[in-house]
Amino acid sequence: MELQSIKNRFGIIGNSPALNHALNTAVQVAATDLTVLIVGESGVGKEVFSQIIHSLSARKHNPFIAVNCGAIPEGTIDSELFGHEKGAFTGAVDSRKGYFETVNGGTIFLDEIGEMPLGTQARLLRVLETGEFIRVGSSKVQKTDVRVIAATNKELIEFAGKGRFREDLYYRLSTVPIRVPALRDRKEDIVLLFRKFVVDFSERYKTNPVQLEEEAKNILINYPFPGNVRELKNLAEQISVLSTTPVLNATQLKAFLPEKNNINRMPVLAGGTHSSGDFANEREILYKLFFDMKKDVTELKKMFLEILQNPSLAGNAAHFTKESLLNEFAVINGNELQAPVMHHNNNTTQPAIIQNYPVHNAQPVILNNDEIHHHEEVEESLNIMDKEKELIIKALKKHKSKRKDASADLGISERTLYRKLKEYDIEDL
């Protein structure tokens, strides 16, 4: 089939050599049953290539299904892909067919394959090599005839080197690799795509298509587009709706583009180091809070110690002895200050002088001076894993072991919560 007719059929705009090479590869491999791995950044249109391959194959009249492996919780992905038997796990009130069973004879597109758990990767490898699978909770081996097309925005060979992806599965998936170019690598297509998008949006919103001056076109072409075609389409829609002039100059276009210092702006850990793959982005702000909290507590302790060593710094508390000052200041415990301590001095009970510090439901404690023998400073744990485990337990208790609510409260995905429960060996509370 002629390449231009395929572009027209699937709405593909562009004539860059890299794009044409990827399309030619997809057309050539479509007639076979080979497994295909589509590699490309987010937003380049990897799913369109999977649809092209399926529609040009002998399976085109059979089912096609796209599955986002990163959107399915780790605890349920096996059931989604391979099905389960009644009673296989809590909530399995009936038997259920998985995608590999329902799409038998067709094509399954596994997007974000790099997010698939290692255990599921082993089961997928068996399907690819033998066509066999077993439902969750069953011992019966079943057969399926499904063509697998996978996609990723990661370098899976690097994941394999780190033990996060099976190397044998990588080589099995990448029988025919197709690399879809990023938009910044096909600059000659940017203006064509923009023109197509603004025409589409002008028809939708009943407006005149916005045009660009030459200088504005140059700015658009040289913009890096980290979000690729998806970002360009969103930009065209914004301009179509918000532009007050039919022709945009360079200054007007810049108003719609993100500032350079805002691109890829992500939270960082204390010390200025960016988060690595070992730290989920949604937890970075929480970690920063822990470090700030530790810093505040340490400074407060230092201030108390200076007062103990030099009572004159305490102002109106200078007449107290070192022992009485120990009683007068609340003890730092975690993130709160405990109740003020009362002490006996010359048969009178004097309250500790603590001002501007919150005390929650505090009751005074009466101690004799001779009961205080020494002062020991206890350094709390700074282990991030301990803090994370503590927060997860608190969230589960708060929401009565409802993991969906707990993960939402923690600001992480339900799948991440499942993984952390296994990692920290936390049982339902």
Q: What is the pLDDT averaged over residues 330-355?
A: 44
The residue ranking higher by pLDDT, 206 or 293, is 206
Q: Which CATH class is domain 184-262?
A: mainly alpha
Of the candidates 385, 408, 383, 384, the residue with the CA atom closest to the CA atom of residue 395? 408
Query: 333: pLDDT confidence band, cut at 50, 70 and 90?
Result: very low
C-alpha closest to that of 108 among 173, 167, 23: 173
- How much of the chain, in percent, has pLDDT values that exceed 70? 72
C-alpha to C-alpha distance for 223 and 231, rounded to whole angstroms: 11
Stronger pLDDT, 80 or 302, i.e. the higher one: 80
Fold of 383-423: Arc Repressor Mutant, subunit A (1.10.10)
Between the alpha carbon of residue 283 and those of residues 237, 263, 290, 291, the distances in Å are 33, 20, 11, 13
Between 379 and 254, residue with greater pLDDT: 254
pLDDT at 100 over 60: yes
Residue 421 is given by DSSP the state H
Q: How deeply is 76 buried, as exposed, middle or buried, from its count of CB atoms within 10 A (0-12, 13-18, 19+)?
A: middle
**Most confident residue range from 218-232, 348-362, 415-429:** 218-232
pLDDT class for 119, splitting at 50, 70, 90?
very high
* 3-class secondary structure, 419: helix
pLDDT of residue 90: 82
pLDDT recorded at residue 75:
85
Spell out a b/e string for 155-181, using b for 16 or more CB atoms within 10 Å of the CB, else e: ebeebbeeeebbeebbebbbebebebb
Q: How far is CA 218 from CA 9, 224, 258, in A?
A: 29, 12, 16
Task: Give the residue among 84, 78, 74, 80 at the shortest CA–CA distance from 135.
Answer: 84
**CATH (residue range 3-181):** 3.40.50.300
pTM above 0.75, yes or no: no
Is the pLDDT confidence value at 334 over 90? no
Sign for the pseudo-dihedral over CA of 72, 415, 170, 226: positive
Can you spell out the DSSP letters for 17-46?
HHHHHHHHHHHHHHTS---EEEE--TTS-H
Please state the rounded mean pLDDT for residues 357-367.
Answer: 44
How far apart CA 212 and CA 223 sit, in angstroms, is: 15
Most confidently modeled range among 47-56, 201-210, 305-314: 47-56
Q: What is the mean pLDDT of residues 343-364?
A: 45
pLDDT at residue 105 above 80? yes
- The residue written with tokens 């937003």 in the block is 43
Of 59, 21, 58, residue with least CA distance to 40? 21
CB 389 within 8 A of CB 424: yes
Q: pLDDT higher for 130 or 394?
A: 130
Q: Which residues of 213-229 are buried (b: 16+ CB within 10 A; e: fewer)?
A: eeebbebbeebebebbb
Q: What pLDDT does 429 receive?
A: 63
Calculate mean pLDDT across residues 101-130. Answer: 96
Q: What span, in angstroms and rounded, lies between the C-alpha atoms of 233 and 218? A: 17
Locate the domains of the chain by residue range: 3-181, 184-262, 288-371, 383-423
pLDDT, one tens digit per residue, over 240-262 is: 999 889 999 999 999 999 876 44
pLDDT for 392 equals 85
Beta-carbon contacts of residue 266 (< 8 Å; ≥ 6 apart): 274, 275, 281, 284
Q: Is residue 274 scored above 50 in pLDDT? A: no
Residue 41 confidence (pLDDT) above 70: yes
**125 pLDDT above the threshold of 60:** yes
What pLDDT does residue 389 have?
Answer: 84
Residue that is written with structure tokens 């993991």 in the block: 403
**Is the separation of the CB atoms in 239 and 256 below 8 Å?**
yes
- pLDDT tens column, 277-327: 444 444 555 655 665 676 667 777 777 777 766 766 555 444 444 444 445
Instruction: Answer yes or no: are the C-beta atoms of 136 and 84 closer than 8 Å.
Output: yes
Q: Please give the pLDDT value at position 387.
A: 79
d(CA 127, CA 132): 5
Write b or e for each residue in 44-58: b if 16 or more Cβ atoms lie within 10 A of its Cβ, otherwise e.
bbbebbbbbbbbbbe
Both structure tokens of 125: 């490898």
